[in-house]
Amino acid sequence: MVVRTATRPTQRNITKAQPLQVDNVWERMKRMYISQYQRSDANPQKILEKLYLGSVGAAYTLATLKRLKITHILTLCDCLPPKFPGEFEYKVVNVIDDPKENLSAHFKECFEFIKEAIASGGTVLVHCFAGVSRSSTVVIGYLMTYSKMSMKDAMAFVKSKRPWIQPNYGFLQQLRKYEVQLKNNLNN
C-alpha cells in the first residue's frame, strides 16, 4: 500500500507564486464577465440622437458598434483597454466604481469628449464595466450641463432609457454638488 502525503508549500513559495496566480485568476474572471456581458448586454441604450450608454458588452461587440455607427468610445474603467483602437476614437478615464472615487474631477474632460465628438458628426458610446454606475453618472452630468436638466430630471430621463442604472451613493453626492455649481454659475 502506497500512502501519499501532500506537502505543504512554504510561505516563501506561496509569496512568490501568489501575484502571478492572482493576476491569472483576475484575467480569467475578467474575460468571463466580459463574455457574459457580450451575451446579455451587447446593445447599449440610446440616450440622445448621438449618445449611447452601455456596458463592456456593447463596447467589445464590433457588430453592435458598427450597426449603431459609433465613432467615439468613452471608457470609464481602470481595467478595460480599448478593444478596437484602429476602428474608433477612444478616451479612457481610469476610475473605479467606489463611492470615494472623485469621478467629478473628470467631468469636464468627459463632457468635452462627448460634445466634440457629436459636434464633429460622430456618435458616442459611454460605458464602464456594467453600464450601471460610472458611465450613467457621466451621462447624467452631461445632460445636466448641456440639456440644462436638473439632476432629478436627468436621472429619471436616463433611467427611462436604461432602467437598471444606479450611480453609487458617492457619485450621487458628486452629482448633487455639481448641480449646485451649475446653479451658482447661472446666477453669476
In sequence order, the 6+-apart residues with CB closer than 8 A to the CB of 167 are 133, 134, 136, 137, 140, 155, 175
**Degrees (nearest 5) of the Cα angle 151, 49, 101?**
40
- Annotated active-site positions, please? 128
CB atoms < 10 A from the CB of 71, how many? 18
Task: Give the largest CA-CA distance in the chain.
Answer: 89
CB 102, CB 20: distance < 8 Å? no
Element at 74 (helix H, strand E): strand 72-76
C-alpha span between 78 and 185 (Å, rounded): 32
